[in-house]
Every structure is written in C-alpha cells, then in structure tokens.
Amino acid sequence: MSTLPKKSSIAVLTLGALILLAPRIPQLSWMRPPGLDTLARIAGIELAQPKPEQQAVVVVPPTQPTDAPTTTTLPKDPHQPHPPGDEPDRPIPVAKDPQEVTSPTAIHDPSGAMRAFYESLSKTETRQGVTRVLHYGDSPVTADSITADARSLFQKQFGDAGHGFILVAKPWNWYQHRGMDIKGSGWKTEALSQSPRARDNLHGLGGVNFQGSQGATSRIRLADGNHTRVEVLYLKQPGGGEFRVDAQGKTLLTASTSGDEKGSGFAAADLPPGTTEINLSVTQGSVRLFGLLFEKQHSGVMYSSLGLNGASTQSLLRYLDTNHWTEQIRHQTPDLIVLNYGTNESVFPRYVETHYPQELKQVLLRIKSAAPAASVLVMAPMDRGERSSTGAIVTPPIMPKIVEIQRQIADETGCAFFNTYEAMGGAGTMAKWYAAKPRLVNADYIHPLPGGAAIVGGLLNDALVQGYRQWKGGAAK
C-alpha cells in the first residue's frame, strides 16, 4: 500500500483540522462553506459566531469577469433555502393605501405589455372579477419567499380570491406556502429541475409530477375556512387509476384518470362552508397528479407561487413538453405570468454570454403563445454574493449582465421587465443584507431570510401597483 509523502500528509491533516475547527472557532468563521449555518441549525449544532466588531463586511463592486465554464448544462441548485423561522423578521413600510405606493424602480414596459393585467386589475378593484397571477421562480419561490408577501399585499389591496396553486405534496422538505400545511405519503416525485424527471416531460403547471398507487395520500390544511372550490390537476392516460377528495367527513369528488391518450385532466368540487382541511387519496390503480387549486367565490387576486428548487430558464425549455405546458397554462386563464429566474444561471458566465439569450427568448415565446391574452413580466434575479480571495462578500460581475440580457430579450419579445436587482440596491446589496441586524439573507448570500423576502415582495407589489395607477390615470384621460 503506497503512502503520501511526509509534507503532503502534513498538509492534508492540517487542512482537515482547519475544516473541523472552523465551525467552532470565531476567527475561522470565514472558512465555513456557504450554507453551513443553515445545515448546522437543522442538525442542532451550535456554531461559534464572530464578535460584532469582526463582522465588518467590505462591499466590493464587480471588476473584470471571471473565466466561464465550458459546460452549458445547468446542475441542480446546491443551496437550500432557510428553514422557516430561523431568523427574526423585520417589518418593512408598505403603503396601506394603494394610491400612496412609490417604487424606486418602475416596471419597464415600452410596448404596453402590462395592459391585460392592468385591465383585469381595474375590474377586480371594482369587485367585478378575479385577477390571476402565475409566478414562476427558483428556490426562494419554492419556499413561497417573495411570492407570499406579494400575494398578501395584493389581496389586502384588491381582495382575496383564494390561495391559488399548490403541489400535491412536498418534493423538498423546505417546500411550503404561507398559511398552508401539506403532508403526503406514498408518492414518487419527479421534478423538471432535477433527476429523476418524468421521461415524457409531462410535469404539470408547477413543474412536478406525483405518481402514486392505491394507498398514496395527501392532507392539505388551509389558511382559513373561506375557500369555496378545489380543483385537482392530473394526467389522463391509458389505464389510469382513480383518486378521491374528502373534506369534513364527506367525499367531494371521485375521479378516474383513464383516457385514450395522455393529456391534461382537471376535476373540481365545491367545498363545504368552513372547510380548513382536505384529504386526497388514490383509491384504485396508479395515478399521476400535478397539484391543486384553491379558490374563493368573490372578486380579488389569486396569486399562484410556482417555485422549483434549482430551476432555470433552461429547465423549462428542455424538460417541459410544450403542448402539455400550453394546456396547463391556458386552463388557468392567467392575466399575468411572471418569469423569475437568473440566479442559477449566474453560476455559468460563459453560458449566459452565449446560449442564455436565445434560450430565454424561446421560453418567453412559448409562454406568450400559450397565453396570448396575458401580460408577461420578466422579473430579474436578486443580487447574489460570494466570497472573494480577500474574504469580502462581492457581487459576481455576471449578475448585471444577466439583468441587461433579460431587459433586452423582454423588449424583443414584447414582454415587460422588472429590475429586482436595481430595486433592492444593485451590486453589494447581499453584503449589506448579511451585515444587517437582523440579517436579511442566509449565509449563502443567495436565499433571503423573511425580512429580505418581504422587502423584495414589497418592491414588486409597489412597482406593479404604481404601474397600474399610472396606466389607470392615463386611460381615464
């Protein structure tokens, strides 16, 4: 058996000792890999924290781009969003009166792409209809970060038309929707953003396919007892089995998923007054389900959060069947579709500079073809931080490039654009957020903590409402 040279052995042992000691020695806290704080909290390990005077963060603006990797295939997101409640929330000022909102960054809309959304919101404001929003995003949206605050603000201002879409069960432990509680068992989960995926690329509206046989169950608890209707989204297929939905000890619906060929299926039922919990179960054969939609019987905003861990524009392009996705979107009759990606793409600068613009364009054209009557909004990613060789938290130079590409492609495809990156402060924001007390971003400098998510959700809401008020003022003239 060969052995390492003496110097190499000493170097390896020294490095190993430093890695083991880093979590517990404040002076070595800079050596912690991103996300270690989160993993430690989950495991119940107490990590040493630097003293306040040692937490000074140097904000360094981006200089020259780093070398880009040669690959164009995006891996799954290696980061996990924070467990709920691991940091105290910090309230942010939001306008109680929608007419008083002001946003530092307006919606960029030179082609009038937001008109359909504004027209629907105008009807909703006068209690004459429901405005439906589909918000696609990556890991923060997986935990309903940003979207939960946007949903809450919109519904306070324009009325609550229901929670909207939610997955059948938790594909990831941190998947959650504010006010909802989900528990499932017996499901095989296939998400388009990572392996294993559905081989036929039929992943449903939310990008996750749940396959279950007799005995598979899900229990969903609602935030309140005011929802009046539930709809289950499933796949019709030859030899498909049956599922049942129960509430308050009564069977609300039993549906067969059998069909001559594969296609989108939808089964709906009214909810008894005061329903706060529903149970779904597979009663026969094997079924493939995609999610559930909860509605309320009055005008307002329904804001569906469609988050996928590790997702990117490329994920939608490669692993979501175009005709199937079109069926799923059209059934929702959305008034606004938000495409909120870019963080996972930023790990691959060369991909961003070569293939990304065309792939983003293809995805936006697919969305516009699926929902020609809807407004489409490209929402830029948040700032992202990483440690430099000096230990400073810096913004990767590719981030502003991604933002500019998104704005250009939005213009080319007739979509609107919201510059999240600029609205939250631009380069260096995550360094400031990490130094804030309480912190606004996790130790990976990517995933916002509750206070940070509330800021971004508030900025988005303010910009959209401000755009609506301006449009409404112009339309009245």
Indicate if 51 and 109 belong to the same structural domain: no
pLDDT above 90 (res 105):
no
Query: What is the Cα–Cα distance from 277 to 129, expressed in whole angstroms?
Result: 26
Q: What is the total count of domains within the chain?
A: 3
Q: What Rg value do the Cα atoms of the chain yield, rounded?
A: 23
Indicate if 333 and 401 belong to the same structural domain: yes
Domain final position from 255, 275, 297? 297
Indicate if 310 and 260 belong to the same structural domain: no
Is residue 1 domain-resident?
no
At 147, list the tokens: 């979207």
Indicate if 471 and 334 belong to the same structural domain: yes
Indicate if 273 and 327 belong to the same structural domain: no
Query: What is the Cα–Cα distance from 292 to 218, expressed in whole angstroms?
Result: 11
Is residue 17 domain-resident?
no
Q: Compare 5 and 449 and report the one with higher pLDDT.
A: 449
Is residue 10 domain-resident?
no
Indicate if 78 and 131 belong to the same structural domain: yes
Indicate if 308 and 440 belong to the same structural domain: yes
Is residue 11 domain-resident?
no
Indicate if 104 and 216 belong to the same structural domain: no
Reported as a single tens digit per residue, the pLDDT across 133-142 is: 999 999 999 9
In this predicted structure, what is the pLDDT of residue 35? 37
User: Which CATH number covers residue 278?
Assistant: 2.60.120.1360
Indicate if 392 and 454 belong to the same structural domain: yes
Q: Predicted confidence band at 301 (pLDDT cuts at 50, 70, 90)?
A: very high
Q: Compare 348 and 18 and report the one with higher pLDDT.
A: 348
User: Average pLDDT, stretch 404-430?
Assistant: 97
Query: What is the Cα–Cα distance from 216 to 328, expressed in whole angstroms?
Result: 23
Largest pairwise CA distance in the chain: 86
Domain final position from 56, 81, 99? 56
Is residue 412 domain-resident?
yes
Indicate if 448 and 361 belong to the same structural domain: yes
Range of the domain at 41: 22-56
Is residue 95 domain-resident?
yes
pLDDT above 50 (res 311):
yes
Helices (H) then strands (E): counts for the chain: 13, 16
Helix (H, G, I), strand (E, B) or coil at 175: coil
Query: What is the Cα–Cα distance from 331 to 314, expressed in whole angstroms?
Result: 24
Domain final position from 280, 297, 314? 297
pLDDT above 50 (res 72):
no
Q: Predicted confidence band at 327 (pLDDT cuts at 50, 70, 90)?
A: very high
Is residue 187 domain-resident?
yes
At 64, list the tokens: 């020259």
Indicate if 262 and 334 belong to the same structural domain: no
Contact assessment for residue 293 and residue 267, using Cβ atoms and an 8 Å cutoff:
no
pLDDT above 90 (res 68):
no
Indicate if 136 and 157 belong to the same structural domain: yes
In this predicted structure, what is the pLDDT of residue 18? 52
